[in-house]
Structure 1
Amino acid sequence: MVKELLENFNPQDYPLWLFLLAIGISFLVSSFSYPAIINVAKSKNLLDTPGGRSSHSGSVPNLGGIGMFLSIVVTITLTGAVLDTKILLLILGGVTFLFFLGLKDDILILSPRKKFTGQLLAILLLIVFTDTRIVSFSDIFGIGLMPYWLSVIFTMFVYVLIINAFNLIDGIDGLAGSLALMAVLSFAYVFYRYKDMSMVVLAAAVIGALLPFLYLNFSRSKKMFMGDTGSMILGFIIAVFAVRFINKSELSTTAIYHNASPVLVLAFLFFPLLDTLRIFFIRRFILKTSPFAADKNHLHHRFLDLGFSHWQTTSIIVCINIILIVLIYFFKDFNINLQLALLLGAGTILYSLYFIYNWLKKMKKV
């Protein structure tokens, strides 16, 4: 009877119930997991100790990624029978690989080269076995279809960029988690419009894992960090969403977001990508150091320097990014190059506005 029920069950008929069920399962698993992880981390002294570039004081458990991993895996295991099992298993395979890679880095510290190599292996697993890749530039700057080899290389670059973007912005309370939550909610909506329930449920699993984590991440008495384990898992899943969304949009001229998917993805992930590319330029060409060398030149550090708290900085950044998403969504039917120019211009202005205002105030005093 159960077998017949599963065979005749169409997930597209119950999108809201599946979405809420996945959030509920993930929320419950993570809510019970995080306190246990905090206790174990404290008893075994598996804590993040503040260093020279840290914006925190005191030692904090940094194994929140374990709870995220458990929540996502349990949720997909329980709901996957009615979804696209092949793609979900391959995604979970990549997530599992990055989980152990990140866990080792959180406990023992891995070199950037080993992390990069591990990320490439997880990325290739998906690209090779699903052939889900970015096949064209959607006529941005007049560039269309790419050769297969260039498409694979560019898709790998996008994966690596997004994974490491979330790793790099995880520097203050709530920032990486809140931006991930915003991006995953955005992807859940567009995948719902595409009737891609496997991705909607995966997004719900991530949302359910993030909500309890953010509560603890902002907490003073029970604080925890996601660590490299959490940031790499989140970055990888969001990169999967980005590539799959662009791929689905590009392959069908009748797709709702055929004319806007690359720019929408840039809007969903504007701050992580902006800060990552900015910090890469500063470290490589101004400071002449390794792009992976830790420092306090991130945009969120600049906000802290102006006197904003962690909560205020995170709120400002997330609100600006939401404004950009809404802006581009309303202009999604315009020429794609105009959309891109609008996003880059508006994003640069909005994120620079307060710094310009503060500079002008100082100039008046002089």
Structure 2
Amino acid sequence: MFKTLFEDFNPESIPFIWLIIAFLLAFYIAFQSFPTILYVAKERHLMDEPDGRSLHANKTPTLGGIGIFLSLIVVMTLVGAFLNTKVLLLVMGGLTILFFLGLKDDLTVLSATKKFAGQILASALLIIFTDTRIISFSTILDIDVLPYWVSIGFTLFVYILIINAYNLIDGVDGLAGLFALVVSGIFVYFFVSANDLSLATIAIALCGALIAFLRLNFSNTNKIFMGDTGSLIVGFLLAFFTISFINMAQSDDQSMYYSDAPALAFALLFYPLADTLRVFFIRIFIHKSSPFKADQNHIHHRFIGIGYNHVKTTISIVSTNFVIILIAFNLTHLVLNIQIFLLLAYGSALYLVPFGISKLMKK
């Protein structure tokens, strides 16, 4: 009976119920995992020690990524038989590589070289074996279709950029988690619209895991950080969603986002990408130091500096990024080059507004 039931079952006939179940399952697994992770971290003293750069005064567990990873793997394993098994297995493989690298870095120390090597391996698995890559610049700067190896190389660069840009924003309570939650929710909409239930399931499972994580990340008594374990796997998934969205749009000239996907993807990830570009510019050209040398020049540090607390900083940054996304959706009638130019202009201006208001209030 069960064999017949499973053979005849098609989740695409009940997509919304299916996605709700995936969301609830991911949330439940993460929710149940975090208390145990907190207990073990405290008992084994696996805590983040505040230093000169830290915005926290107390020792805090940094293993939140374990709960996120467990919930994603369980959901993908359970639903894999009904969806695109090849894609799910490769995503799970990439997540597993980055999970162990992040765990190693959280527990001891991992060299930047090994982290980059792991990111390249995990990203290359998906690019090559699923052939999910950026195949065109969509006439940006008058460049259209990319040669195969250029396409692979550029897509790999985008993966590494997004993973590390996301890692760099994990500096105040809730920022990385809430940002990823909002962006993943929008990707659920994109993938459902494209009838890709496999990617929609992964994206909504990530939403469920992040909500469970944020409950503790915002807590004053049982706080837990995402750590490199979490930021690597979440950044990897955001990169995978971004590349998949662009690839879907560019591969179908009937797609609603055929000409606009690069600008919309940029808008979704505007904050981490702009923040990384800004920090690297300051480090290289102003401080004359290594772009990888840690400092307190991130946008979230500036918000804290003008008197915002962690919650207000997180809500301000994520809300601003959401407004940037909404404006981008309303500019899709324009030529792509103009969309990107305007995105850079209004996106940068919107993040300056709180600082302008702060200066006016001090006068």
TM-score range, shorter chain: over 0.9
Post-superposition CA distance 1:54-113 (Å, at most 9, x none):
000110000000000000001111112111010010000000000000000000111111
Question: Are 1:269 and 2:269 counterparts?
Answer: yes
Conserved 8 A contact 1:259-1:333: no
**Map of 1:106 onto structure 2:** 106
**Map of 1:136 onto structure 2:** 136
**Map of 2:122 onto structure 1:** 122
**Map of 1:90 onto structure 2:** 90
Question: Are 1:336 and 2:341 counterparts?
Answer: no
**Map of 1:149 onto structure 2:** 149
**Map of 2:58 onto structure 1:** 58
Comparing 239-248 with 283-292, greater Cα deviation is found at 283-292
Shift of 1:324: 1.1
Conserved 8 A contact 1:182-1:268: no
Distance in 1, Cα, partners of 2:289 & 2:62: 27
AA aligned to 1:208 is G
Conserved 8 A contact 1:63-1:224: yes
Distance in 2, Cα, partners of 1:43 & 1:279: 37
**Map of 1:4 onto structure 2:** 4
Equivalent residue runs for 1:139-178 within 5 Å: 139-178=139-178
Distance in 2, Cα, partners of 1:13 & 1:140: 38
**Map of 2:243 onto structure 1:** 243
**Map of 1:210 onto structure 2:** 210
**Map of 2:184 onto structure 1:** 184
Cα distance change of structure 1 residues 333 and 82 upon mapping to structure 2, 3 Å threshold = farther
AA aligned to 1:152 is I
Shift of 1:354: 2.2
Distance in 1, Cα, partners of 2:201 & 2:80: 9
**Map of 1:48 onto structure 2:** 48
**Map of 1:285 onto structure 2:** 285
Shift of 1:360: 5.2
AA aligned to 2:175 is L
Distance in 1, Cα, partners of 2:240 & 2:278: 23
Q: Which runs of 5+ in 1 are unaligned?
A: none
Aligned residues: CA RMSD: 1.2
Distance in 2, Cα, partners of 1:10 & 1:257: 27
AA aligned to 2:80 is G
Conserved 8 A contact 1:165-1:272: yes
Secondary structure at 1:340 match in 2: helix
Comparing 4-13 with 17-26, greater Cα deviation is found at 4-13
AA aligned to 1:287 is H
Distance in 2, Cα, partners of 1:348 & 1:92: 35
Shift of 1:357: 3.6
Shift of 1:256: 1.5
AA aligned to 2:60 is V
Cα distance change of structure 1 residues 333 and 9 upon mapping to structure 2, 3 Å threshold = farther
Conserved 8 A contact 1:10-1:82: yes
Distance in 1, Cα, partners of 2:277 & 2:5: 49
Shift of 1:361: 5.6
AA aligned to 1:126 is L
Conserved 8 A contact 1:22-1:205: yes
Post-superposition CA distance 1:314-346 (Å, at most 9, x none):
000111111111111122232212221221111
Post-superposition CA distance 1:198-221 (Å, at most 9, x none):
011001110110001101001000
**Map of 1:39 onto structure 2:** 39
Aligned length: 363
Post-superposition CA distance 1:216-255 (Å, at most 9, x none):
0010000000100000000001100000110010011001
Conserved 8 A contact 1:6-1:81: no
**Map of 1:298 onto structure 2:** 298
Shift of 1:130: 1.1
Shift of 1:276: 1.0
Distance in 2, Cα, partners of 1:2 & 1:339: 52
Secondary structure at 1:67 match in 2: helix
